[in-house]
Amino acid sequence: MSDKFIHKPVMMEEILSFLQLKNGMVVVDATVGLGGHAIEIIKRISPEGKLIGIDRDEDSLEVARKKLTQYSSQCTFIHDNFCNIDKVLSSSGIKYVDGVILDLGISSFQLDNSVRGFSFTNEGPLDMRMDRTISLSAFDLVNNLTQKEIASILWQFGQERFSNRIARMIINNRVKSPINTTVDLAGLVLKAMPYSRRYHRIHPATRTFQALRIAVNQELESLEIFLGKISNFMSKNGRICVISFHSLEDKIAKNNFRNLSKTNEFKLIVKKPIRPTDEEIENNPRSRSARLRILEKV
C-alpha cells in the first residue's frame, strides 16, 4: 500500500522558501509523515546537513525511512510524540537546530486506511490512535465516558453545536450494545442531527470524528508543550514553521509565536497566516484549510 500511495505535502514551496535552507543546516521535521517535505529539505541541506524526522505513526515513519534511504547517513528517524522534542534532541546529541517544520494535518495515508478508524467513509474499528502503542482509543472514549464528558469533547475540540444531542444518542445506544465501528458512530451522529442538518455538503460526523481524534491523541496539549520547548533549541536566524488545519491549532501557534516575539529574542516573519494558493487547493483539496505561521530566532 505505502509504495503506491501518492502523498501531496501541503505548502511545499512556501516551506522550502521560508526555512531558507542551505548546506549544513540541522532541520527537525517533527511530523515527518511519509517524508514529503523531508525529501526536499534533505536535498537542500546536503551533503553536510542533518535531518531529524519524528512521527507518532510507525507505519508512516517506515515509509519516510524508505523514501530517504539514499540520505540515511544524514537522517535520524524517531518514533515518538513531538512534545518530547527535548529528549529526542538530547538523545541525538543536538543542542541547536536551524529549522523546524510541524505539519499538523492527518495524512490521506491514515485517513484512507480503514483499519486505523480515522474516517467515517470506510468502515473500520473505532480506533483513531496515531501511535498504536498507546492504550486509549476512540472506542474507549465513546463507550466509557459519561454523556457530559462526551459532549464536552465534541464541543471543545470539534465546536460541534449539537454536542449534547450526539452525546445523548451515543449513551442511549451503547446501553444496547457497544459502538464498535466508524460507520456505527457516524450513523448515530446522523440520527442525532436535526433533519435539516443531515444532508449538507460536509458530512455531519466530520466535527465529531475530529474532536475524538484530537482527544485520543492529546493533539492540542502536545502542540502547547512542543512550542514551549522548541524555542530553547533554535539557533540564531533559525525558523519554526507550523502548518495548522483548524482554528484551535492555529490559535495555539498564534499566541505562542506572539508571546515569544514580545521577548525580542524572536520575530514574526508573517503577522497573518499564509494560505495555500488557489492552484494548490485545486490540485490538493485537503490543503484548503491549511494555515502557515513562521517565527525566527534573532
How far is it, in rounded angstroms, from Cα 295 to Cα 298? 10
Nearest one of 57, 64, 56 to 37, comparing CA atoms: 64
Mean pLDDT of 67-77: 96
CB atoms closer than 10 angstroms to residue 124: 19
| The residue type at 109 | F
From the number of C-beta atoms within 10 Å of its C-beta (0-12, 13-18, 19+), residue 84 rates as middle
How far is it, in rounded angstroms, from Cα 25 to Cα 221? 29
**What pLDDT is recorded for position 122?**
86
Q: What is the pTM of this model?
A: 0.91
- Domains of the chain in start order, with CATH, are 12-109+219-297 (3.40.50.150), 114-217 (1.10.150.170)
When the pLDDT of each residue in the chain is averaged and rounded to a whole number, the result is: 93
Strands 75-79 and 50-55: parallel
Nearest one of 146, 143, 192, 194 to 165, comparing CA atoms: 192
**What pLDDT is recorded for position 4?**
46
Report pLDDT digits (tens) over 225-258: 999 999 999 999 999 999 999 999 999 999 999 9
